[in-house]
Chain A
Amino acid sequence: MSSTPRTLLEKIWDAHLVCAPEGEQPLIYIDRHLVHEVTSAQAFEGLRLAGRRVRRPEATFATPDHNIPTTDRRLPIADVISRQQIDTLRNNCREFGVRLFDLGDADQGIVHVIGPELGITQPGMTIVCGDSHTATHGALGALAFGIGTSEVEHVLATQTLRQSKPKSFEVRVEGSLHPGITAKDLVLYIIGQLSTEGGTGYVIEYTGPCIRALGMEERMTVCNMSIEAGARAGMIAPDQITFDYLRGRDYAPRDFEAAVAAWKKLPSDPGARFDRTAIYQGGDVVPQVTWGTNPAQVVGVDATVPDPAAIADASERDSSSRALEYMGLTSGTRISDITLDRVFIGSCTNSRIEDLRAAAKVVQGYSIAPNIHAMVVPGSGRVKRQAELEGLDKVFTAAGFEWREAGCSMCLGMNPDTLSPGQRCASTSNRNFEGRQGKGGRTHLVSPAMAAAAAVAGHFTDIREWRYLS
Chain B
Amino acid sequence: MKPFVTHTGVVAALDRANVDTDQIIPKQFLKRIERTGFGQFLFFDWRFRPDGSPEPEFELNRPEAAGASILLSRRNFGCGSSREHAPWALADYGFRVVIAPTFADIFYSNCFQNGMLPIRLDEQDVEELFRRTADATASGGSPYTLRVDLNTCTVADSAGFSKPFQVDAFRRTCLLQGLDNIALTLDHVDSITAWETAHGLPPVAAQQP
Contacts from A to B (Cβ < 8 Å): 18-19, 21, 23-25, 27, 29, 38-39, 41-42, 45, 50-53, 55-56, 66-67, 79, 81-82, 84-85, 88, 130-132, 146-151, 153-154, 157-160, 162, 164, 196-197, 200-201, 227, 230, 232, 294, 315-316, 318-319, 322, 412-414, 421, 431, 433-436, 439
Contact = CB atoms under 8 A, between A and B. Distances in A.
Contact of A53 (B34, B106, B208): B208
Contact of B182 (A52, A131, A232): A52
Contacts of B207: 52-53, 55, 157
Contact of A42 (B28, B33, B106): B33
Contact of A197 (B104, B188, B201, B209): B104
Nearest to B20: A433
Contacts of B26: 435, 439
A138 to B, nearest CB: 15
Interface in B25-74: 26-28, 30-35, 45, 50, 74
A150 B182 CA distance: 9
> Which label, helix, strand, loop or mixed, suits the secondary structure of the A interface?
loop
Contacts of A153: 182
Contacts of B22: 412, 431, 433-436
Contact of A51 (B27, B81, B209): B209
Contacts of A23: 169-170, 173
B191 A56 contact: no
Residue among A82, A164, A232, A433 with max Cβ neighbours from chain B (10 Å) = A433
B208 to A, nearest CB: 5
B204 A230 contact: no
Residue among B34, B185, B186 with max Cβ neighbours from chain A (10 Å) = B185
A130 B81 CA distance: 9
B110 A197 contact: no
A61 to B, nearest CB: 16
A244 B20 CA distance: 38
Contact of B16 (A151, A322, A433): A322
Nearest to B107: A148
Interface in B153-172: 168-171
Given A23-B173, A51-B208, A147-B82, A197 B16 contact: no
Residue among B18, B114, B171, B173 with max Cβ neighbours from chain A (10 Å) = B18
Contacts of A25: 168, 170-171
B186 to A, nearest CB: 6
A434 B45 contact: yes
Residue among B15, B84, B170, B171 with max Cβ neighbours from chain A (10 Å) = B84
A148 B30 contact: no
A318 B33 contact: no
B181 interface: yes
Given A18-B192, A19-B188, 9 more contacts: A21-B188, A45-B35, A53-B208, A55-B192, A148-B110, A162-B181, A200-B102, A434-B22, A434-B45
B80 A197 contact: no
A433 B33 contact: no
B75 interface: yes
Interface string B74-86: 1110011111100
Contacts of B75: 197, 315
Contact of B109 (A21, A29, A151): A151
Given A148-B109, A154-B185, A197-B75, A412 B27 contact: yes
B17 interface: yes
Contacts of A435: 22-23, 26, 45
